[in-house]
């Protein structure tokens, strides 16, 4: 019997916990602050930012959306980040992708203070993740949300054979590091991997983050495997689907995430959770 991992319901639970934490912090005069900077008018980014802002406001987080024109220079964006780096009321800074061609994304990522890097992409925080550092630091929100799913559904990664499909810095690499830190044996496969089925058919857990239809079919997985689908694609009928042939797998795998309603809601819930984390950590550091 396949268990469908309900990210939408779990996100509601996480958000309720986050709201309660915000209320407790507010009593001490600390209101978590999140700023999202968006450059240009990419419609998909605009919708995503609106969802983030709406969720943050509902949870009591001080949410600011800073809209900049397409022609904004790199120097202007970095100067704005400097302002928020110096603003004690802002605990999390996020610059929404994609950025215009005149702006170097790496420079922007490096310019955000590690202590305000709510996306978990700064090299300092990435380094701590790979070192399995015991201190407090933010982690990429999608992988962190997936780890919350594993915990909630009692999926123990220790000693498991895990395959990560995709090697991006946003999902694939931090996800692999988190699972490695949890005691799994991790293999990363990607577009240059020869005969990927040789790896996926032996995996206890598979996480797919390629953004390509039909990345993983029913014959690519073993009986009872855990399948986490991070992909978001439009199929031939114009419907949102993942990387995985979901319907075909329902009678074979042990656990699976749907698209939509799986990993997506957990990413935003984790962003809110991590904003509050940064506020709490900052308050402790200033004591």
By annotation, the residues acting in catalysis are 52, 96, 119
DSSP state of 5: -
Q: What are the angstrom distances between the C-alpha of 140 and each of 136, 190, 271, 284?
A: 13, 20, 9, 22
| Neighbour tally for 98: CB within 10 Å | 12
Cβ-in-10-Å burial (0-12, 13-18, 19+) of 83 comes to exposed
Pairing of strands 92-95, 33-39: parallel
Whether 119 and 273 have beta carbons less than 8 Å apart is answered as no
Dig out the tokens for 1 from the structure. Answer: 């019997």
DSSP state of 105: H
Half-sphere exposure of 212 (CA within 13 A, CB side): 10
| Neighbour tally for 35: CB within 10 Å | 24
* Token pair 């904004």: residue: 72
């Amino acid at each position: 019997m396949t268990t469908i991992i309900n990210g939408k319901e779990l996100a509601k639970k996480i958000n309720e916990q986050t709201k309660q934490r915000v209320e407790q912090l507010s009593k001490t005069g600390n209101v978590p602050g999140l700023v999202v900077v968006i450059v240009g008018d990419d419609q998909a980014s605009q919708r995503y930012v609106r969802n983030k802002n709406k969720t943050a406001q509902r949870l009591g987080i001080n949410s600011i959306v800073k809209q900049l024109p397409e022609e904004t220079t790199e120097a202007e964006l970095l100067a704005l980040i400097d302002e928020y780096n110096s603003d004690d009321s802002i605990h999390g800074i996020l610059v929404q992708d994609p950025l215009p061609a005149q702006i170097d994304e790496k420079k922007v990522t490096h310019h955000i203070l590690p202590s305000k890097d709510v996306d978990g992409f700064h090299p300092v925080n990435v380094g701590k993740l790979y070192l399995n550092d015991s201190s407090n630091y933010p982690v990429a929100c999608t992988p962190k949300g997936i780890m919350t799913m594993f915990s909630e559904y009692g999926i123990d990664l220790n000693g498991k054979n895990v395959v990560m499909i995709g090697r991006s810095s946003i999902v694939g690499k931090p996800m692999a590091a988190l699972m490695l830190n949890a005691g799994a044996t991790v293999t990363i496969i990607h577009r240059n991997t020869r005969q990927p089925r040789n790896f996926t058919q032996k995996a206890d857990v598979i996480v797919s983050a390629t953004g390509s239809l039909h990345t993983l079919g029913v014959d690519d997985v073993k009986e009872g495997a855990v399948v986490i689908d991070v992909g978001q694609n439009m199929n031939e009928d114009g419907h949102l689907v993942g990387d995985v042939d979901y319907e075909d797998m329902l009678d074979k795998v042990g656990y699976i995430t749907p698209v939509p309603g799986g990993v997506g809601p957990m990413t935003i819930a984790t962003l809110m959770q991590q904003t509050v984390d940064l506020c709490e950590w900052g308050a402790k550091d200033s004591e």
